Structure 1
Amino acid sequence: MAVSRRQLIAAGGAAFGTLLAPRLAGGIFADAAPLAADTAPDLPAPAAHGDLAPLKWAPRNRAFLQRLIANYGIGSPHYNPAQKPYAVFDWDNTCIAGDCEETLMRYAATHFRFALSPQDFARAIALDVPARPLDPTLTTTTGKPVSLGDIQADLLADYTALAARSGPIPMDNPALLSLKSKLLFAYNAIDASYDADVSCRWIIRLFSGLSHEQLAALAKDSNLWHLGQGIRQDMWTTPAQRPGRAGLVACPALTALRLTPEIADLQATLRRCGIDVFVCSASLEDVVAVFATDPDFGYNLPRENILGVRMTWPGGKLGLEPAAGWPVTVKAGKVRALHAALADKRGYGPVLVCGDSSGDYAMMTAFADTRHALIVNRCLGGEIGQLSARAAAQIDDKHPRFLLQGRNENTGEWRPSERAIKLGEDTPRLLADKA
């Protein structure tokens, strides 16, 4: 079984249509009402002096961020509109609960909404993938080691069979079920076995051949569908009648995507108070922009302020090659992108950086000008676990560099605490068992 480092561990909850209502009923797998496509989420009326709506902020975090806005915004005697301060946000699992690109991959696979020819699909799933073996712990359902070459051959066979069909494909079609299981397995295996930039581009290339308009429509369809679903974790398993060369594999597929009104309100307040807001994401820039700039989803950010992975668009369609002169915006690549787009031009770094994972560690620590780094607490280990431990150690400080914000993964909603509740649990915790 393979699990991605970007695995969705955010949970469902109220779908941010009328600020935190309606609530789920019936436990963590209960259904949630969908967000209507023509209904923008209701945010509080603008408050004076850059006050943030209390919502479900940890009170201490809200106080520090209001102080930051007072010190750096238009109400400060030192504010210079020619040198506007700015804040940077990761997108997936920071501005939202969930990962909009991974959910898009699963949505497209479920409905077979791809545009590549079988020949181009074969190239897309092999391009830039190292020849090194996969992590040996990634096995079939019977414990057999898996070869990436075998997985790729099975994917091509399934894709070719499905592409040759006309009309809707039944959800129980063996080739479709096989494609879903092995596509998710391949993505998670590549993500776990190689450098992060490999999986970042691998997942994006699956959408090659789509025009800007087609990709935006597909992404919005996926967003709206997922926002209307309750949490559930399914197991995507290869059907016994279609083992292929690799054999049968199984991967957990978590359905979960939620909006975060606290972030939308924070971003609106920052902008209202003269502090620019930017997003720097490891997902395809165009996919994030569908979410971040659409007023239906409540964030309504300027398109030019969305930074992410960039690709070529030959003939107006998403290509297989990366855009020249732009880094893969993951880990240190986020810092390089922020320098290229903002810090080097303005001469200073962001006053606030918000993130949730080790992919954000570099940008949360790289800039001396950053007053606060807000960590959406998912109780993760690795580098973000180290930062979370520093934030926990600074909880009583009057001038903390790092802030922890709790979230309940069973609802996708924030908690008025630094402590988080993991999916399937009910006890709040401050840190991962092992940072």
Structure 2
Amino acid sequence: MKTTKKVVLILAAVFVSLSAGCSPSATTQQEVKTQAEQPAPSPSQQLALMHWAPANHKAIQALIDDYGIRSKSYNKDKRPYAVFDWDNTSAFNDVQETLLTYQLTNLHFKMTPDQFVSAIKINIPKDNFKQEFNNKAGKPVRIDLISEDLGADYKYLYKNYKGFKGTKSLEEIKATPQYQDFVAKTRYLYEAIGGTFSPDVSYPWVIYLFAGMTEKEVRELARASIDYNLQDAIGEKTLASPGGLPGKAGVVEVKIKTGLRAFAEQQNLYKTFIDNGFDVYVCSASFVDVVKEFASNPKYGYSLPEERVLAMELERDAAGVIQPEYRKGYDQTQGKGKTKTIERFLVSKYGYGPIFVAGDSDGDTAMLTDFKDMKLGLIVNRLKGGDIGELSKTAASGIGTGNAKYLLQGRDDNTGAFRNTEKSVSLGASEEKLLK
């Protein structure tokens, strides 16, 4: 009887307390939630270690813990967001460059000969290319000389290849000197323009070769190229124009990188950010339709929504056919143009800058340094000099401090994979290095 009476009194007290608006739930339940009873994070909310440098893994996980959905301060209406470069940051090697080689090798073009010659000359100065791009005879090359050669090659291909107007199969065409000259000289031209002139001239040049295609056609071409290059060996090879067809520019040769790989660590980081309430974006200097195919097609493991891809843009006609003209009113997504693009489309939307930025080259240093809201910057270590080299030195000086703003992540250029250290190994080498 005494026990029953005590229970009744306790229940009555609780009822009075609730009636008086003195429920402890607003304070006590929150305390409990943020202490022992808080559920453990799911595997998708924890960044997998994989081949991250351990200090980098720890720093990124701390960022996720401090600003993600498990943080007390998380506000779903003010979501943090991350911005990644694509080529050599999110994936190994350059999707645009490997696509150019694939496009040339398989003659995927939708232009007439006159349109092709016009496209390859757009905004290219008539000066000689740098001395390092002299032909095999040691003579300088310039756009008017090599465009004449390429125009003649393309006319032959256009007339004879069955993919254009002719009857010859691709295998038959590949045996001709005109095909060999076309592939080698166009690929050489890309390197010569990029190595001689400013990025605002060289970066758009390669994407003008999509003129005449629709987005669907570019996406299909990109998919075929990505599939091929993910299986191709990582390395270098030399393309040389045939000695029997020197033309106006003479015989030229060019070294190109081969192979393409997805970075499993970046695939996982994309997903981990998203599972922790971050928004993820790509800002790339490759063509927008090409990056969308790699970043958004689930088969490649990134599964980023297409609308989260910011990249190089071209004009399109009313039917959606791509024109050899940069899209009016849009900044090129390289250098300061990346910052301007992020400000235009993301800062204007969120009201603040990205909390995390990842890049690998001079073209990424602006977005890695321009945003005061950025808490952490990741540099995929390509052992480069220039502006990114200076920023890499800053990152290197922070190793072991536990509070570095910039992180260096090592990779092996021989395997196309991350290494569990800040140090990288160059293609053809075995020695690991921290800086150039």
Structure 1: how far apart are the matches of 2:44 and 2:202?
Answer: 43
Q: Secondary structure at the match of 1:210?
A: coil
- What residue is the counterpart of 2:237 in the other structure? 234
| Corresponding residue number in structure 2 for 1:375 | 379
Identity of aligned residues (%): 39
Q: Which residues in structure 2 correspond to 1:15-414 (within 5 Å)?
A: 47-48=42-43, 50-167=45-162, 168-170=169-171, 171-314=174-317, 315-414=319-418
SS in 1 for 2:407: strand
Once the two structures are TM-superposed, the CA of residue 137 in structure 1 deviates from its matched residue by: 3.1
Q: Which amino acid counterpart does residue 283 of structure 1 have in structure 2?
A: S
Over residues 56-81 of structure 1, what are the superposed CA-to-partner deviations in whole Å (9 max), with x where a residue is unaligned? 11011000000000111111111111
Q: Is the 8 A contact 1:49 1:75 kept in 2?
A: no
**CA-CA distance at 1:181 after TM superposition:** 1.2
| Distance (Å, rounded) in 1 between the aligned partners of 2:76 and 2:243 | 64
1:48 CA drift (Å) = 4.2
SS in 2 for 1:70: helix
3-state SS of 1:234 partner: strand
Match of 1:42 in 2: none
Tell me how far apart the structure 1 counterparts of residues 243 and 85 of structure 2 sit (CA, whole Å): 40
**TM-score with structure 2 setting the length:** 0.87
Task: Report how many residues are paired.
Answer: 387
Give ranges in structure 1 of 5+ residues lacking alignment: 1-45
Is 1:421 equivalent to 2:425 in the alignment?
yes
8 Å Cα contact 2:55-2:400 kept in structure 1? no
C-alpha distance 241-49 of structure 1, shift in aligned 2 (>3 A) = closer
Larger radius of gyration: 2
How far apart are 1:199 and its partner, in Å? 1.4
Residue pair 2:336, 2:367 contacting (<8 A) in 1 also: yes
Amino acid at match of 1:364: L
Residue number in structure 2 paired with 1:16? none
The RMSD of aligned alpha carbons is 1.2
Report the CA distance between 1:49 and its aligned residue: 7.7
Q: Following the alignment from structure 1 to structure 2, what is the Cα–Cα distance between the partners of residues 245 and 265?
A: 50
After TM superposition, give the deviation of residue 321 of structure 1 in Å.
1.3
- CA contact 1:49–1:70 (8 Å) conserved in 2: no
Native 8 Å contact 1:220 1:290 kept in 2: yes
Distance in 2 between the 1:214 and 1:422 partners? 35
Distance in 1 (CA, whole Å) between partners of 2:54 and 2:175 is 49
Structure with the larger helix share: 2
4+ runs deviating over 4 angstroms: none
Tell which deviates more after alignment, 125-134 or 204-213: 125-134
The higher-RCO structure (CA 8 Å, 6+ apart) is 1
| Structure 2 stretches lacking a partner, 5+ long | 1-40, 163-168
Structure 1 distance, partners of 2:369, 2:80, is: 17
